[in-house]
Amino acid sequence: MSRMINSEKVRALSVVLAAFMLAAILFSSLFIALEMHHDCSGEDCPICICIEHCVRTLHELGDLSVLCAVSVLPVLLIVFAKIATGFVYVNDTPVSRKVRMND
C-alpha cells in the first residue's frame, strides 16, 4: 500500500516539475519576444540583463532535456522491443484463468 502512495507522490511531483519547466520556457520566450526591440539605456540596461538571464535559462533547460532524453531513450527502446516481440506484462493467476477453487 505504501508503495502505491509513494508512486502517486512521485507522479504528482513530476507533474508539478514539468509544469514549472513549461512555465519557465514559456515566460522566458515570451519576455525575449516582447522586449527584443526595446530602447536600450546602455551597458547596464536592466532589460538586456533580464534577456540574458532568459536566454541562459532556455539554454540550460535545453541541455537538461537532451540529458533526460539520452538517459530515458534506452529504457524506452527496451520496453518497446519487449512489446514488439510479444512480451505480455499480465501475470497469469488462477483468477485470470477463471479457475474455480473448491474446498
Render pLDDT for 69-89 as a digit per residue (tens, 0 to 9): 677 777 778 777 777 776 655
User: What's the residue count for the chain?
Assistant: 103
Q: Specify the residue for cell string 522566458.
A: 28
Q: Terminal CA-to-CA distance of the chain, rounded, Å?
A: 30
**25-79, pLDDT tens digit by residue?**
888 888 888 888 888 888 888 888 888 888 888 888 777 766 676 777 777 787 7
Residue extents of the structural domains in the chain: 2-87
Whole-prediction pTM value?
0.53
